[in-house]
Amino acid sequence: MDQWAREAAEEAFIPMRPILRAAQCTVTEHCRVGEAAPQILEVVRACNADLIVMGTHGRGAFLAAIMGSVAARVLSTAPVPVLLVAWHLYQDQHA
């Protein structure tokens, strides 16, 4: 995996670590390169995960229909429950 992808993943994980630590959640971070939904589902199956937690960008139904939504694809095909977090709303409330 190239260095840029690792650095981008690390930046994405940073704001979530203290929140998850405070909630006493056991979390395993994974960084993959490729089409997001299939990569997420592959990790879920390989790790025998019992829950997927993912953030949403909050683009709305119209843009999701045009652009596609990783969250929608994972939600419709996941073998385990999926918890979607409206990350932009959380950030607004905790800024």
* CATH numbers and ranges of domains, the chain: 1-33 (no CATH), 35-95 (3.40.50.620)
Q: Which long-range contacts (CB under 8 A, 24 or more apart) does 21-24 make?
A: none
SS3 85: strand
Split at pLDDT 50, 70, 90, the class of 58 is low
Per-residue pLDDT tens over the stretch 24-56: 988 888 888 888 899 999 999 999 999 998 877
The whole model's pTM is what? 0.72
Q: Residue 68's Cα: distance from chain center in Å?
A: 15
59 to each of 54, 64, 74, how far by Cα in Å? 15, 7, 16
What does the block give as tokens for 86? 């409206």
Ramachandran angles phi, psi of 63, nearest 5°:
-65, -35
